[in-house]
Structure 1
Amino acid sequence: MGLWSTRSGISVNYSYSSSPTFAAEPWSVHTGRSRSSSSSSSRVSVFIFDKRKFENYLQKYGVIQSRSSSADRQLISDAYDIIRTQVNNLAKLKHPMLLGLVAPLEEHSKSFMFVTEYVSGCLSSIYQGSDSDQDLFNTESQDIIIQRGILQISHGLDFIHNTASSVHLDLNPRTVFVNEHSDWKIFGLGHLFKLAAGTNTAEYFMPQYDRVPPFMQLNLNYTAPEIVFENTVSPRSDYFSLGALVYFLYYGRNLFNCDNSTSNYRDEYSRFERKLSQMSWESIFSKLPDKVRATIPRLMSRDLYARYEDINEFIASEFFEDPLIKTLVFLDDLPTKSTEEKTVFLNGLADLLPKFPAQLLQRKFLTALLQLLDQSSSSNDINSECLSQNLHIIIQIGRSLSVYFQ
């Protein structure tokens, strides 16, 4: 792929592909590398928004008549404010389950751009089969991938709700990204709503535009009914979005198809309620594993107060009481564990490895265990049992991967 550049700090410090790796509306996402390092760890993602393409779209479809009238300039200004808010919120909010910002937003006459940790796709692009991560969801072990991803999103929402005192409002397959370690990261913070101190509900009026690109308004396919019907927002509104996302993950399609129209949303939601009255949650969500299906009414009930009171109640549900999930959680915390805890973990890991998909072994386990090997080898107090068991596990993973990738 060819490389291109503009006169900007990002282009000075990073080279990136001329064609995007994938698209996550409104951004084209390019694979890049730091010019100051040749190691694989220098790989990043460069997000680019083309102003000219956006404004031409508005004019082509009659959203604006020209770029000179005050009304048209205001609409363009509103769009660019959402772009700025998306990235500025990412700079303010730091959490392992939010997309990691590497270089802040740069604004140029023809574009916006910023740099993040490397991501291989968003859930939407992965399910459409436009990138290499598609295989993650086409294996017998896909449930553990999805289960872990939902847990990571939930931890991200816990931070947004309980630390940042905010509501995401736009959780959907285009706003969840997958990084090179198969971790799921939340983005799409352009509509983030800050709650007043000591409150957990607020009045909220959705921005209304006609025929604009989707990023300018909430994705109604994943929007909670109280936002549309009662102009009310709460952290529990994000639980509804999470439930709709869970449906997408197991069915590969949207639960609602509103075409960004509130009137269509009313029709779609009425049909959904009629279906619920005639069938049941279990029937509508029949493809979901039993333990997550049992949580759906507490995520998506029409009654705001019948949903979970806090996202941590969902995190504590039986759905996540799985030895494989607990293994992955421990692996994430491995650097903080004592040598004794690491040794016990490694001793029990060998029997569990065959239950994990190859991509997870390669991207998550191998990376973490090689880091542990480096840490153990350079320590002044080398624990031979921990070091030996770690080497044994690394060799075991290597053998399984060599068979898988033949």
Structure 2
Amino acid sequence: MEVFNKLYSQVSSSVSSTVSQLSGVLPGNPVTREFDASTHIASAGPGLVWKIYKGCKRSTKQEASIFVFEKRQLEKWGKADREMILESLKRGVSQLTKIRHPQVLTVQHPLEESRESLAFATEPVFASLANVLGKTTNMPQPANMSDYKLYDIEIKYGLLQVSEGLAFLHNDVKLLHRNIAPESIIINNQGVWKIFGFDFCVHNTNPANLPPVYPCEGFGPTLPDICRSNLEYLAPECVLNQTNSPASDMFSVGVLAYVLNSTGNQALAPVRDLQQFRARAQQLKNLNAGKLQCIPEAIRDYVKLLLSVAPEARPDAHQFIKIPYFDDVGIKTLTYLDSLLQWDNLQKSQFYKGLPEALPKLPQRVKVQRVLTCLSRDLAQPAMVPFILPSILDIAQDCTKEEYCLYVLPHLKPVMKLMEPIQVSLA
């Protein structure tokens, strides 16, 4: 948590310079009528071209994040490429805005365009996964993310969340993402991993009563980088056979699992051009267990299947989320917390009673970011407070003074005034 706090304090110190940066970018963009943007915190999307600012909605003071694409970034391309890039970015946000799912980034205000920028507002976010892994393009400088290390449970739950999002896209929306990569995954303020970056997505073209068919646009080597999928995460068949299917997105999950667990977050092989892409496809045909030693044993065989050159050998998203690797106390606890809103008070109270036993299995940052946020929702119900309070006090015990004042105390203050039920005063 100290790193989390340090990053936020570093970022907050640059508010005045950020306001002057924004004044040259956002005036004229209709997003500013409803949202105030302040601190530049992160970047995301193809080539990390979207700058992400901390913000809030003027009418409700509700926290938000503002994504801004500055059109001056287009100056290095010719006119035809500029039009293509703008269309690609607009398409991605337009598609994102239509999808509602807990594992897809929530848009609070749709895309708006002005002479200088494109901008839209979303739920509050922390950074893109690419930023956390050390990619600092279009981030505030110095962007010191090197201290931010993902815990094993964050990687495990992150892979589960992305796969759940893909299961929904593939089965319910009948859509391929085609660019699952760290720049297309956003980590929100509560540490939840959300799918973003739908610039290259493909819809099923068959009627509902027939098996889905997904056209493949192929790979244009002459296109600007921002207008094509990240080659390092793209499945071999998308380029070599000009075909794609839900299995193509699952190949990307396999690469992601490898990168997240490898030393220095390096890919299996560098892929910067088509020649390297073909060379990697050959390597994958003879992928031996030694190459996957960095991956936890419980998921190693599944990652090997995801990285198969043959799409039919890869598990689909539904099969992948059911593997034993995701079946542990920490993951179950976080899954239950995410589904609390659907439960009645009796079910919640049963879960809360057992929560103090599960908390030691979770790192402190996860307890503060995820668990505390979920618990605080039910503090407004006095009858639930006796069940929640022991877990909050357990989390508070391991907090630094700064963390306690920032994250715990604001939730406890209203509770301290409660006289009923009597268990609250006793606790």
CA distance in 1, matches of 2:402, 2:267: 32
Q: Distance in 2 between matches of 1:175 and 1:105?
A: 17
Which residue of 140, 159, 163 maps to 2:168?
Answer: 159
| Equivalent residue letter for 2:202 | F
- 2-structure distance, mates of 1:234, 1:366: 39
Q: CA deviation at 1:258?
A: 1.8
- The CA deviation string for residues 303-351 of structure 1, in whole angstroms up to 9 with x for no partner, is 111112x311111111111111111111111122232322221121112
Tell me the amino acid that sits aligned with residue 331 of structure 2. Answer: I
Q: Does 1:29 align with 2:52?
A: yes
> One-letter code of the match for 1:316?
K
1:289 aligns with 2:296: yes
- Where does residue 48 of structure 1 map in the other structure? 68
Question: Alpha-carbon deviations, 1:74-128, whole Å to 9, x = none?
Answer: x322211111111100111111100110111111122111111111111110111
CA contact (8 A) 1:175 1:188 kept: yes
For residue 255 of structure 1, report the CA deviation from its aligned partner.
2.4
Conserved? CA contact 2:128–2:184, under 8 Å: yes
Tell me whether 1:16 sits opposite 2:37 in the alignment. Answer: yes
TM-score with structure 1 length normalisation?
0.85
Counterpart residue identity of residue 71, structure 2: K
How many residues get paired? 369
Aligned counterpart, 2:336: 330
CA contact (8 A) 1:119 1:178 kept: yes
Cα deviation, residue 290, structure 1: 1.3
- In the alignment, is residue 303 of structure 1 matched against residue 346 of structure 2? no
How far, CA to CA, are the matches of 1:339 and 1:164 in structure 2? 32
State whether structure 2 residue 346 is matched by structure 1 residue 340: yes
CA deviation after TM superposition for structure 1 residue 166, in Å: 1.0
Q: Does 1:243 align with 2:254?
A: yes
Q: What's the CA shift for 1:175?
A: 0.4
**1:200 shift after superposition:** 4.1
Q: What does 1:66-81 align with in structure 2 at a 5 Å threshold?
A: 67=79, 73=80, 75-81=81-87
Counterpart AA for 1:30: Y
3-state SS, counterpart of residue 181 of structure 1: coil
Query: Which residue, 71, 93, 100 being the options, matches 1:87?
Result: 93
Counterpart check, 1:258 vs 2:271: yes
Assess if the C-alpha contact under 8 Å between 2:231 and 2:277 holds in 1: yes
SS at match of 1:369: helix
Aligned residue among 379, 400, 403 for 1:402: 400
Change (3 A) 1:103 1:53: same
Is 1:267 matched up with 2:279?
Answer: yes
> What is the CA distance between 1:137 and its match in structure 2?
2.5
- Structure 1 range deviating more: 313-322 or 330-339: 330-339
Kindly provide the amino acid, as one letter, of the partner of residue 392 in structure 1: P
Residues 222-261 of structure 1, C-alpha deviation per residue, up to 9 Å, x if partnerless?
Answer: 01011111101100100100000111111112223221x2
The whole-number CA distance in structure 1 between the counterparts of 2:353 and 2:49 is: 47
Which position in structure 1 is the counterpart of 2:139?
Answer: none
Give 1:391's aligned residue.
Answer: 389
Q: Output the CA distance in 2 between the equivalents of 1:112 and 1:367.
A: 31
Aligned residue in 2 for 1:70 = none
Distance change (3 Å), C-alpha of 1:233 and 1:129: closer
Higher deviation after alignment, 312-321 or 394-403: 394-403
Q: CA deviation at 1:209?
A: 4.5
Give the share of equivalent positions with the same residue, in percent.
28
How far off is 1:165 after superposition? 0.4
Answer yes or no: is 1:148 the counterpart of 2:157: yes
Query: Do the aligned partners of 1:153 and 1:184 also contact (CA within 8 Å) in 2?
Result: yes
- What is the rounded CA distance, in whole Å, between the counterparts of 1:127 and 1:404 in structure 2? 26
**How many Å separate the matches in 2 of 1:359 and 1:136?**
11
Residue identity matched to 1:355 = K
Give the AA of the match of 1:205.
E
2:8 match: none
The superposition leaves residues 149-189 of structure 1 with CA deviations (integer Å, 9 ceiling, x where unpaired) of 11110111011101110111000010001001100000010
Which residue of 1 is the match for residue 319 of structure 2? 313
Give yes or no for contact 1:89–1:189 (8 Å, CA) kept in 2: yes
| Letter matched to residue 256 of structure 1 | A
1:109 equivalent to 2:107? Answer no
Structure 1 runs not aligned, ≥5 long: 59-63, 68-72
Partner SS for 2:59: coil
CA positional deviation for 1:199: 3.0
Equivalents in 2 of 1:314, 1:247: separation in Å? 15
